[in-house]
Amino acid sequence: MKFGSARLFAGCLVMAGVPLLSACGESRDFRLNDQENEPPASTHASNAGQAKGDDRPIATVAGEAVYADDLSAWMSELAGGTVLEEFVVSRQVEKELASRGLKLEAGDIDAERRNMAVATDHKLSDAELAVAMRRVQQARGLGPSRFKALIERNAGLRRLVRDEVQIGDADVRSEIDLKYGARTRVRIIVTPNESDAITARARLDAAAASERSKRFAEEAALISFDPSASRGGEIEPLSAADPNYALSVRQAMTKLAPGELSPILRLENGYALLLGEGSVAAVTPPADAEELARERVRLREERIAMERLARKFLQSAQVTVFDRTLDWSWNARRGQAR
């Protein structure tokens, strides 16, 4: 969460990353973890037997061989639980699609890539999309296999929830207000305890009004644990109607004159201090504002429903782990490591 609990973020199962799949004009069925480009099963079996018999190293260190068994326990502890979660949800999505008689097509995959590539309203060319995909993959630290599985899993989840998502006119109007309505510019400091926030406010109170923004930025860089700390506490202009931010933050910011400090604000898991820095006037929405707003609301509501369904699949999957190191990682994901 951002601002302690001021900003809500999606969980780890549905991520804004997409696989690098070529666009396909024809309509064809898509299966999760598609084996289309992999060799046939007989080839897999032959290669597996050969690799096992040869006991081939996977790397060398200072000229000495390193084998898969040398790293398997460490790799399981590092990310085994995360990867197993991803696999469980992918498997459950595939089963649920089949049980409902639904199939993913190439168009679903392409649409998911475009939905996840950027958070803006403009359309991407194929070349721009390819660049965006590479950036997302690098930012997420996902290899080709997990990247491909991610977008297929998201596309499957979206296909399962999309018919249940209903968008009202009031939601669309609120979205238009959020994007084009008046907003407030503030800086923020978030601390884990109230005493640090009180001490910071006292130091800033003593600063001259002309120096307060600079001093606030320095203070934020030193003590704030909000992601904005590296920017001196500067955040994007906020709308008082934005439900993604804590009510205490939204109420306080509208009362601040430029250079004025807020009271200490209690958050769910921390304390916040704001500095008013002015306002951004409302602008006239473009002609297609309603269409774009409806699409943004739809994607957001689908994302929430996808997260909810992914958690349901995880809870109902009845996973039993036999490997000791994987079991440690799996339980560590749930705060049950032993």
DSSP-assigned letters across all residues of 246-259 = -HHHHHHHTTPPTT
Query: Would you say residue 177 lies in a domain?
Result: no
pLDDT of residue 242: 85
Query: Would you say residue 263 lies in a domain?
Result: yes
Query: Would you say residue 172 lies in a domain?
Result: no
- Reference 196, options 219, 180, 179, 215; nearest CA is 219
Whether residues 40 and 132 fall in one domain? yes
pLDDT of residue 19: 31
Whether residues 267 and 306 fall in one domain? no
pLDDT of residue 114: 86
Whether residues 154 and 92 fall in one domain? yes
Number of domains in the chain: 2
Whether residues 148 and 226 fall in one domain? no
**Mean pLDDT, 10 residues at a time, over the chain (338 residues)?**
37 37 35 42 42 73 93 92 95 96 92 75 77 86 92 95 92 90 94 95 91 95 93 92 87 93 93 95 92 90 95 93 93 75
Please say whether the beta carbons of 203 and 194 come within 8 A: no
Whether residues 34 and 135 fall in one domain? yes
pLDDT of residue 134: 87
Query: Would you say residue 312 lies in a domain?
Result: yes
Q: CA torsion sign, 208 to 209 to 214 to 220?
A: positive
pLDDT of residue 118: 60
Q: Return the structure tokens found at 109.
A: 């995959």
Whether residues 36 and 139 fall in one domain? yes
Residue 196, domain CATH: 3.10.50.40
pLDDT of residue 336: 64
Q: Give the domain-ending residue among 255, 280, 305.
A: 280
Whether residues 296 and 276 fall in one domain? no
Whether residues 36 and 123 fall in one domain? yes
Range of the domain at 131: 29-50+71-167+292-332
pTM of this structure:
0.65
pLDDT of residue 308: 96
Whether residues 238 and 321 fall in one domain? no
Query: Would you say residue 104 lies in a domain?
Result: yes
